[in-house]
Amino acid sequence: MSFKLFQAYILLTFFRPVELFAPELGELRPMLWLWLLAVITSVVAAAAKKEAGARPIHFKLLFWLWALIGVSKLLSPWAGGTMEAISDFSTSSMLFLLAALNLTTLDRLKSTMNAVVLAMVLNSVIGINAYHTGQYREQLVLYQTAPAHDNDDPATMPDLKTVIPAHDDSGWFLWRLKSVGFLADPNDFAQVLVMSMPMLWAGWRAGQRLRNLVMVIAPGAAMIYAIFLSQSRGALIGLASLLFFGVRKALGTTKTVLLLGVMAGAQLVGNMSGGREFSGKERSAEERIESWTIGLDLLKGHPIFGAGYGNYLEYNYLTAHNSFVLCFAELGLVGYFVWMGMIVLTYKGLSRTLDQLPEGSPAWKTASLLRSSMVGYLTCAWFLSRTYGPALFFLMALGIGAWHCAVRSMPASQVPAPLLRIDWQKDTLRLMGMTIFAVYMFVRSH
């Protein structure tokens, strides 16, 4: 019962039919009640089984991150929002805890991954339909004024009520696909699509062409097209990273590079970025570099606990456009260590699983796909400010669950020591230094 409620909650968290099709029901708070039922039943079930899909260290790091968010806000010049900051992060932290309580078996892990994929395929199909027909366009397609028309008279703008994004050739607008809920931003939507792509691959079956076409190829094509329609440049780079690291082993480096070249060419020919070029000379790229400079200045001025959770916009009119910069600027080195530690511990757990388990085993395959998801998501995160987002903490819970299932699949006396004991502190400090240095060098070079 508890897992079914959890699975329903995950499906409806990523795909929000109430907000999309029946927003008037929102007053009844159906997601809140479903979450409450899922939490209560999951806690009872976990207590009865005396098992969770995460180790005490994971819960400790999450608790410390939560506490440091409050401390950073309390010590900042804008301390009035301390409780609000703690409450704001509760969405992500509670999603992590709920997942950690439920992801205790490989079947549960796979079923949860399938729920996420189903939700994102539905989001993609309905969003593509909105882009081409105008149905639910206001909810699923964001419009922005094209830079060339920033200073033009708004009276000459086409009537938005009658414009269908796919048919708009006025040049006035940039149309960007999105979803609702916490995916209401095109960048968030595209980033989660990138995260979900490797999970979709779990449905592939060798030799079953029709099944693969229906279950993997067609849904994958819809998700990739939705990523293009989101016009998220960070997501396109994340997708490229997935192809390079995920496909290179099968195709070889040369063919993979050629495939990426074809995709880049298609993007340019099809103008998939809608005029949002990748050039460092573009104004938005300049603003990003300026924002990273602000982030480094904030770290220098507030090195221990940062400038305060959510305070970045008090120092700059734009956010950091980099999840790593946003973290060390707002939470300082202490908060950055805890946040980065959760990521490092999750990634190393997946890597150890791949090192210690027989290649091709069910647990090995699942860990491999989730590690690819982390690569894609974190690549996007380098260009997007998604430090505290629910998707990241849910993805970490999936990765930690895969590690737990790998250990659980072996007799206790046969579990390799490297799979049980993972040293993460030194790697976390090393990665902290590397990322801060990389940002510094990028800013200096520009």
Write out pLDDT tens, residues 348-388. 999 999 999 988 899 999 999 999 999 999 999 998 898 99
User: Helix, strand, or coil here: 136?
Assistant: coil
Per-residue pLDDT reduced to its tens digit, 167-193:
888 888 889 999 999 999 999 999 999
Q: Residue 349: which residues within 8 A CB-CB, separation 6 or more?
A: 399, 400, 402, 403, 422
Alpha-carbon distances, residue 200 vs 128, 215, 224, 228, 331 (angstroms): 18, 8, 12, 18, 35
- Which of residues 229 and 419 earns the better pLDDT score? 229
Neighbours of 315 (CB within 10 A): 16
Cα of first residue to Cα of last residue in the chain, in angstroms, is 55
Per-residue pLDDT reduced to its tens digit, 288-318:
888 999 999 999 999 999 999 999 999 988 8
Per the listing, tokens 């791949």 go with 354
Neighbours of 438 (CB within 10 A): 12
**Is residue 348 within 8 Å of residue 319, measured between CB atoms?**
no
**Is residue 212 within 8 Å of residue 205, measured between CB atoms?**
yes
Given this model, what pLDDT does residue 261 score? 56
Phi, psi of 254 (to 5 degrees): -60, -50
Q: Residue 77: which residues within 8 A CB-CB, separation 6 or more?
A: 308, 311, 314
Residue range 162-167: mean pLDDT, rounded: 89
Tokens for 392, please give them. Answer: 């990241």
Q: Is the pLDDT of residue 395 over 80?
A: yes
Tokens for 49, please give them. Answer: 């089984």
Per-residue pLDDT reduced to its tens digit, 49-59:
889 999 999 99
- Taking alpha carbons only, the member of 186, 103, 65, 121 closest to residue 370 is 103
Given this model, what pLDDT does residue 277 score? 46
Prediction pTM value:
0.90
Domain extents in the chain: 55-102+285-360+370-446
User: Helix, strand, or coil here: 100?
Assistant: helix
Per-residue pLDDT reduced to its tens digit, 25-45:
888 899 999 999 999 999 999
Alpha-carbon distances, residue 231 vs 7, 234, 276, 277, 355 (angstroms): 30, 9, 8, 10, 37
**Where would I find the H helices in 75-146?**
82-102, 106-133, 137-140
Confidence of residue 272 (pLDDT cuts 50, 70, 90): very low
